[in-house]
Amino acid sequence: MFTVRTRSSCCRARTGTLHLAHGDVSTPAFVPLATRGAVKTLEPREVEALGYEMVLGNTFHLFLSPGPELIRDLGGLNRFMRWERPIITDSGGFQVFSMGHGGVADEIKGRGHGRTRSQSKGAILAIEEEGVRFRSYVDGSTQFLGPETSMSVQAALGSDIALVLDECTPFHVSREYTLRSMERTHRWLELCLSWHQQHGPEDQAVYGIVQGGVDHELRLESTATVAASACDGIAIGGSLGQDKPQMHEVVAWTTAELDRRAPARPRHLLGIGEIDDLIDCVALGIDTFDCALPTRLGRHGVALVPDPGSRWRLDLVKGRWRESNEPILAGCDCPACSGGFTRAYLHYLLRAGELTGLRLVTLHNLRFIARLMADLRAAIDEDRLPELTKVLTSCTG
């Protein structure tokens, strides 16, 4: 399902192709979130036109509403949302455990200013060996998510890649808790693979998930366990640290071990999408990423620009852009910039609460990242990744 085309001569970066049921995906690649069956504010043809070949559907949210049976009966998630290219679905573990641990990105959990009273009811009721019982944020009903449940939901959705259920532990828990959680994740891995072997779609790939927190020994143990399993690909999840240097260190431990134990299998880094992290983690050997960052920033009027000093961000809501006749980014081929929309106009739309403003900035952000990933792929193929990295990290807008 995965072929490596080029390996960098100076780091673990590589280019390749995922061969999936609904088409090929060039790697390294960024995967936009289609949390509830839609990339927020956009329709599928727009997402594909921006340069994307795969999106991520959220098993937890689709499980609760509209439900896997309805989506299956209507032809699967691809047909339901009118996206004809590959889909990866997460297991639901991140979202359900977020209700217990807290402090996880609001975007992934689906929080927002319009959250209703019923959506505040979500809570973990019990974590058991068989799975997790929790209260639905949709209607307050008691629900259960276990390894077999997660796999059956993802089978009904018909995604190209399904992720096994894992217990997602945050940074602040003890090593003992992290160890117990990791061992449960490993047991769930085998249950997920067994269920899928007997009942899963033949053309659906399955990724295992490496856990272990920020403990070097546990990360290596989890990497070895997942690599020894029959999974088709490997995702890196859980707490990656309290700052970027620690996160990059944890990713480096894992990809170094994967180079030893599973060099031919694809690697997905869960929930990471800051521009500098994409650049650094591609160099560490990550093949695919998913994150809410570009769409979340877009809906807050923040555009992505080549300016590391401002964390790659341009806040168009600020008053300084009220009379600016500039585009978001000169030379950008996104619909907002190539269409001639000025910072002043976007500032006006955003201040007025017009949805068109949110859409245009979201289109820009997604195109910015798609172009970045294409540039990284070309640089790896031409063995000039260090030179590109230097340019990207030293530019000033």
Per-residue tokens: 43:
């329709």
The yes-or-no answer on residue 90 being catalytic is yes
The C-alpha atoms of residue 125 and residue 144 are separated, in whole angstroms, by 10
Strands 14-20 and 29-34, sheet pairing: unpaired
Longest Cα separation, the chain:
62
Helices (H) and strands (E) in the chain, counts: 16, 16
Residue 327 DSSP code = -
The yes-or-no answer on residue 280 being catalytic is no
Site of tokens 């689906």: 110
Q: CB under 8 Å to 351, separation ≥6 — which residues?
A: 317
Measured between alpha carbons, how far is residue 315 from residues 32, 36, 343, 361, 372 in Å? 21, 27, 10, 10, 20
Site of tokens 């997460």: 90
Which position among 287, 290, 307, 333 bears the catalytic label? 290
Burial of 344 by CB count in 10 Å (0-12 exposed, 13-18 middle, 19+ buried)? middle
Element (H, E) at 52: none
CB 191, CB 208: distance < 8 Å:
no
Rounded to the nearest angstrom, the gap between the alpha carbon of residue 102 and the centroid of all alpha carbons in its chain is: 19
If we measure between CA atoms, which residue out of 280, 129, 106, 253 comes closest to residue 191?
129
The C-alpha atoms of residue 159 and residue 20 are separated, in whole angstroms, by 10
The C-alpha atoms of residue 337 and residue 190 are separated, in whole angstroms, by 48
Which position among 24, 73, 90, 381 bears the catalytic label? 90
| Strand-pair partners of 161 | 88, 205
Burial of 124 by CB count in 10 Å (0-12 exposed, 13-18 middle, 19+ buried)? middle
| Strand-pair partners of 131 | 128
Element (H, E) at 30: strand 29-34
Catalytic residue numbers?
90, 290
